[in-house]
C-alpha cells in the first residue's frame, strides 16, 4: 500500500490530523492497535481551548460539539472553605468548551467513516522503517498477515506507550520527566453536576475536582495515594471524602449515585525532544504528558496537530518545508509553557507528603494572592483558556 502520511494511532491526535489532511486532498492511512469500541471506552478529560474548537470546525467535525457542549466563562477555585471564581471571559474575553474527549473521538471516527477515510483497527506489531531516509515505510500485521505501507511521512500519534517515540534513537532523543507522589481517583456518575462551573479544590485532606460531561453526567476526582486501587474505594467512601474536600455549600447539595466508571490515574509531567526525526513527527501523548490539573492533555495534542497539519499542507501544496522544518521547535515552545502551567496548578492545589508547615503557608499565600490579585488571575486565565498557537 502507498500513502502520503502514515499515521500511527487512532486516538484524537491521529484522527484529527487524518481528517484535516484529507479535506486538503492529502492521503493518509491511520493504524490503530485496538478496536474502535476499545478506544471509545477510555474515559478522558473534556476541556477544550478555542484553538482546539477551531481545528474541529476546520475539520468539519463541530456540529454535535456545538449542539451538546457547555461553554464555561470561568471556574471556581476553593481553599478550605474560602472560594473564588476565575472569570476567564472578563479577564481574557475568552471561554472554554466542555465536551468529553470520548465524544470528540467518536465524532472524528464518524467523520473519517463519512469521508471513507482509511482507519485500520487491530493493527499489531507496527514498525516504522527508514524514518531517517527519503522513503520511509511502515509494517504491521492483522490476523497474523504482514502488511507494508510506503509513505512520505510518518505521524506518531500513538500515545505514551506507542512505538513511534521508541523509534527515535536514544542518541538523538532527550526525555524530561517528573512523577508526582499521588494519583487521581476519578468516577463518572449519572448525576447532575454539583455546580455549573468546574470546582478545583485544595483542602487539608488533598485535592478534589468537580467536573461534568452533560446535564446528567458528572465527573469527579479526588487526590489519592498511588498505592490505592479503585477497589479500595466504595462509591460511598468516595462521596464522603469528596464532600470533606469541597466547600460545604457544594457538599450540601451534591447529588450522589452509583459510579459507572472508576479509575486511578498517576500524575506525570513528561516531554521528549526533538519531536521530529527525519520523516517521523511525534504528536500528542507520544511526545508529552501533563498532569491533568491544567486540563492541557488534549489541547497540547491539538496544537501539535495544528503545527504539523499546516507544515504538511505547506509542503504538499506550496512545496515549502518551513513548516515541517520548524515543527519540533514551535510545538515544544508551546508545550513547555503548558507543562509549566500544569505543574504550577498541581503544586498550587495538591497536598504533598513531604510538605512542611512553611510549605503549607506558602501554598496558602499563593492562593490568597491569586484570590486578591487581578493580574495573577489573568495569568491563570490566559493559560487555562489556551495560549496563542
Ligand atoms: N500501534 C498502533 N496504535 C497504537 C500503538 C501502536 N504501537 N500504540 C498505541 N496505539 C494507539 C492507542 O491504542 C491509542 O488509541 O494510539 C492511540 C493513542 O491515543 P491517545 O493515547 O489518546 O493519544 P493522543 O491521540 O495523542 O491524545 C492525547 O489523550 O491521554 C489523553 O490526556 C491525553 O487528552 C490527551 C489525549
Ligand atoms: C475532566 O472533566 O475530566 C477534567 C476537567 C478538568 C481537568 C481535568 C479533568 O483539569
pLDDT value of residue 150: 98
Residue 197: burial class (beta carbons within 10 Å; 0-12, 13-18, 19+)? buried
How far, rounded to the nearest angstrom, does the alpha carbon of residue 21 sit from its chain's CA centroid?
Answer: 21
Torsion over CA: 51, 320, 9, 275 (sign): negative
Distance 315 CA to ligand 2 centre (A): 36
Q: How far apart, in whole angstroms, are the C-alpha atoms of residue 17 and residue 108?
A: 10
Residue from 7, 8, 11 whose mutation best tests the ligand 1 pocket (most atoms within 8 A of CB): 11
Which residue's CA is the closest to the ligand 2 atom numbered 9? 45
109 is catalytic: no
Tracing cell 492529502 back to the chain, one arrives at: 26
Pocket of ligand 2 contains residue 312 by CB under 6 Å: no
Which atom of ligand 1 lies closest to the CA of 160? 21
Q: How far apart, in whole angstroms, are the C-alpha atoms of residue 8 and residue 6?
A: 7
Q: How far apart, in whole angstroms, are the C-alpha atoms of residue 269 and residue 154?
A: 25
| pLDDT tens profile 16-65 | 999 999 999 999 999 999 999 999 988 778 999 999 999 999 999 999 99
Please tell me which residue in 109, 200, 250, 327 is annotated as part of the active site: 200
pLDDT value of residue 81: 79
pLDDT value of residue 94: 98
pLDDT value of residue 41: 87
Q: How far apart, in whole angstroms, are the C-alpha atoms of residue 14 and residue 197?
A: 30
Q: How far apart, in whole angstroms, are the C-alpha atoms of residue 350 and residue 353?
A: 10
Grid coordinates representing 306 are 495544528
Residue 9: name the closest of 162, 111, 204 by CA. Answer: 162
Q: How far apart, in whole angstroms, are the C-alpha atoms of residue 307 and residue 143?
A: 35
Q: Which residues fall within 8 angstroms of residue 64, CB to CB, at 6 or more apart?
A: 103, 107
Pocket of ligand 2 contains residue 188 by CB under 6 Å: no
Which residue's CA is the closest to the ligand 1 atom numbered 23? 159
pLDDT value of residue 80: 84
296 is catalytic: yes
384 is catalytic: yes
Which atom of ligand 2 lies closest to the CA of 100? 2
Residue positions counted in the chain: 389
DSSP of 288-327: EE--GGGS-HHHHHHHHHHHHHHHHHHHHHH---HHHHTH
**Interior angle at CA 372, CA 193 and CA 209, nearest 5:** 25
pLDDT value of residue 43: 73
pLDDT value of residue 224: 98
pLDDT value of residue 172: 98
Distance 46 CA to ligand 1 centre (A): 16
pLDDT value of residue 193: 98
Label the pairing between strands 174-189 and 259-273: antiparallel
Distance 9 CA to ligand 1 centre (A): 6
pLDDT value of residue 330: 98
Q: For residue 343, what is the enclosing H or E element?
A: helix 327-349
The answer to whether 275 and 331 have CB atoms below 8 angstroms apart is yes
Ligand in nearest proximity to the CA of 105:
1
DSSP of 138-187: EEEEETTEEEEEE-SEEEE---TTSSHHHHS-TTT-EEEEEEEEEEEEEE
| pLDDT tens profile 56-85 | 999 999 999 999 999 999 999 999 878 999
Q: Which residues fall within 8 angstroms of residue 361, CB to CB, at 6 or more apart?
A: none
243 is catalytic: no
Name beta bridge partners: 70.
Answer: 98
Which atom of ligand 1 lies closest to the CA of 14? 25
Please tell me which residue in 79, 137, 288, 296 is annotated as part of the active site: 296
pLDDT value of residue 34: 97
Phi, psi (rounded to 5 degrees) for 58: -60, -30
Please tell me which residue in 99, 291, 292, 316 is annotated as part of the active site: 292
DSSP conformation class of 2: B
pLDDT value of residue 45: 82
Pocket of ligand 2 contains residue 293 by CB under 6 Å: yes
388 is catalytic: no
The stretches in the chain having pLDDT less than 50 are none
Q: How far apart, in whole angstroms, are the C-alpha atoms of residue 281 and residue 165?
A: 9
Amino acid at each position: 500500500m502507498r500513502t502520503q502520511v502514515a499515521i500511527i494511532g487512532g486516538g484524537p491526535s491521529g484522527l484529527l490530523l487524518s481528517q484535516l489532511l484529507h479535506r486538503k486532498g492529502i492521503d493518509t492511512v491511520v493504524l490503530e492497535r485496538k478496536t474502535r469500541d476499545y478506544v471509545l471506552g477510555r474515559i478522558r478529560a473534556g476541556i477544550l481551548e478555542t484553538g482546539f474548537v477551531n481545528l474541529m470546525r476546520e475539520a468539519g467535525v463541530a456540529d454535535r460539539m456545538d449542539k451538546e457542549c457547555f461553554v464555561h466563562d470561568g471556574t471556581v477555585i476553593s481553599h478550605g472553605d474560602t472560594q473564588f471564581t476565575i472569570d476567564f471571559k472578563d479577564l481574557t474575553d475568552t471561554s472554554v468548551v466542555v465536551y468529553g474527549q470520548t465524544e470528540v473521538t467518536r465524532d472524528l471516527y464518524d467523520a473519517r467513516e463519512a469521508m471513507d477515510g482509511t482507519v485500520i483497527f487491530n493493527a499489531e506489531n507496527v514498525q516504522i522503517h527508514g524514518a531517517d531516509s527519503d522513503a520511509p515505510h511502515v509494517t504491521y500485521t492483522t490476523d497474523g498477515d504482514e502488511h507494508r505501507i510506503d509513505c512520505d511521512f510518518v505521524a506518531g500519534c500513538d500515545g505514551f506507550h506507542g512505538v513511534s517515540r521508541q523509534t527515535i534513537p536514544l542518541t538523538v532523543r532527550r526525555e524530561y520527566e517528573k512523577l508526582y507522589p499521588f494519583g487521581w481517583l476519578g468516577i463518572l456518575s449519572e448525576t447532575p453536576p454539583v455546580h455549573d462551573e468546574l470546582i478545583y479544590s485544595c483542602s487539608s485532606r488533598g485535592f478534589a475536582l468537580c467536573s461534568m460531561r452533560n446535564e446528567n453526567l458528572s465527573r469527579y476526582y479526588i487526590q489519592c495515594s498511588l498505592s490505592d486501587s479503585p477497589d479500595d474505594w466504595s462509591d460511598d467512601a468516595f462521596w464522603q471524602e469528596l464532600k470533606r474536600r469541597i466547600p460545604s455549600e457544594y457538599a450540601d447539595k451534591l447529588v450522589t449515585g452509583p459510579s459507572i466508571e472508576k479509575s486511578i490515574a498517576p500524575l506525570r509531567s513528561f516531554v521528549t525532544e526533538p519531536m521530529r526525526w527525519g520523516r517521523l513527527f511525534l504528536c500528542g501523548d507520544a511526545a508529552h504528558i501533563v498532569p491533568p490539573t491544567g486540563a492541557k492533555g488534549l489541547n497540547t495534542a491539538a496544537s501539535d496537530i495544528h503545527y504539523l497539519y499546516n507544515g504538511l499542507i505547506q509542503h504538499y501544496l506550496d512545496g515549502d518545508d518551513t513548516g515541517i522544518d520548524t515543527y519540533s521547535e514551535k510545538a515544544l515552545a508551546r508545550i513547555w509553557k503548558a507543562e509549566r502551567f500544569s505543574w504550577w496548578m498541581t503544586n498550587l492545589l495538591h497536598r504533598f507528603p513531604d510538605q512542611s508547615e512553611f510549605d503549607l503557608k506558602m501554598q496558602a499565600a499563593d492562593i490568597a494572592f491569586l484570590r486578591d490579585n487581578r493580574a495573577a488571575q489573568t495569568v491563570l486565565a490566559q493559560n487555562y483558556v489556551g495560549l496563542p498557537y
